[in-house]
Amino acid sequence: QVQLTESGPGLVHPSETLSLTCTVSGFSLTGYSVYWVRQPSGKGLEWMGRMRYNGDTSYNSALKSRLSISRDTSKNQVFLKMNSLQTDDTGTYYCTRRAYGSPFDYWGQGVMVTVSS
Amino acid sequence: NTVMTQSPTSMFTSVGDRVTMSCKASQNVGINVGWYQQKTGQSPKRLIYWASNRDTGVPDRFTGSGSGTDFTLTISNMQAEDPAIYYCLQHNSYPTFGGGTKLELK
């Protein structure tokens, strides 16, 4: 059974670093790419970056200077770190998987992050 | 970046109506498009992939069509459980989402 589960702090202070974890089950990180997508409160969806099945990473150019994605295949986890958080980074953060034949089929339940002092 | 423009941004419908929403890509994306349904407080749920393939378990009243730059999601017989925000997503290049169509019941 495929599952993706995001976890992380619910509250981050302005200028601090956000650290999120996507823990997956039911598939291998060496066979699927994992993407991070965020949704500012009441707004639409924005791709942030990806960890490819082969370990390569790519980032949304708008976030690239602040964003880092890594993984631990032995723990079935993908990590997101984003620094210099501001209030407009408040929203829900999702991870989703992509395979060639079935792009973005499963999504995590999301983790709500509030940036506030 | 490929911009995906959805229309309308919102619409009111009645149970039993035929509903059509559009997604236009700023450049050719082939059939690399999916449609997602998002209900309040939930994560996006994929309904359609590769522009016209319905996901397992998705009612056949949902139909996707199009290729290139113009895509359509049709709900043939609106049901009470269908109000949601619907998003298109292109993945021909780095993924980009449309702004969403909010579907509500009158």
- Per-residue pLDDT tens over the stretch A100-115: 888 999 999 999 999 9
State whether B34 and A35 contact (CB < 8 Å): no
The tokens 């997508």 sit on which residue? A37
Q: Give the integer Cα–Cα distance in Å for A82 and A111.
A: 15
pLDDT surpassing 90 at residue B44: yes
Three-class HEC string of A54-92: CCCEEECCCCCCCEEEEEEHHHCEEEEEECCCCHHHCEE
Q: With an 8 Å Cβ cutoff, is B64 touching chain A? A: no
Query: Chain A: which residues have CB within 8 Å of chain B?
Result: 35, 37, 44-47, 58, 60-61, 94, 98, 102-105, 107-110
Q: Give the integer Cα–Cα distance in Å for A67 and B52.
A: 34
Q: Give the integer Cα–Cα distance in Å for B29 and B69.
A: 6
Q: Which of A60, A61, A109 sits opposite B43 (nearest CB)?
A: A109
Q: What pLDDT is stored for residue B2 in this prediction?
A: 95
Q: Give the integer Cα–Cα distance in Å for A103 and A86.
A: 31
For residue range A71-81, what is the model confidence (pLDDT) as tens digits? 999 999 999 99
Distance from CA of A74 to the nearest CA of B (A): 26
Average pLDDT over every residue of B54-76: 98
Q: What pLDDT is stored for residue B100 in this prediction?
A: 97
Distance from CA of B85 to the nearest CA of A (A): 10
Q: What pLDDT is stored for residue A97 in this prediction?
A: 97
Q: Phi and psi of A87, rounded to 5°?
A: -60, -30
Mean pLDDT by 10 residues, chain A (117 residues): 96 97 97 96 94 97 96 98 96 95 94 96
The share of chain B scoring above pLDDT 90, in percent, equals 98
Q: With an 8 Å Cβ cutoff, is B30 touching chain A? A: no
Chain A residues whose beta carbon lies within 8 Å of the beta carbon of residue B49: 102-105
Q: Is-contact B24 B71, C-beta < 8 A?
A: yes
Containing H/E element for B71?
Answer: strand B70-75
Q: Phi and psi of A73, rounded to 5°?
A: -65, -30
Average pLDDT over chain B reads 97
Q: Give the integer Cα–Cα distance in Å for B36 and A2.
A: 18
Torsion over CA of A51, B49, B71 and B74, rounded to 10 degrees? -140
Chain A residues whose beta carbon lies within 8 Å of the beta carbon of residue B51: none
Q: Give the integer Cα–Cα distance in Å for B48 and A41.
A: 25
The tokens 């997602």 sit on which residue? B36
Q: What pLDDT is stored for residue A100 in this prediction?
A: 82
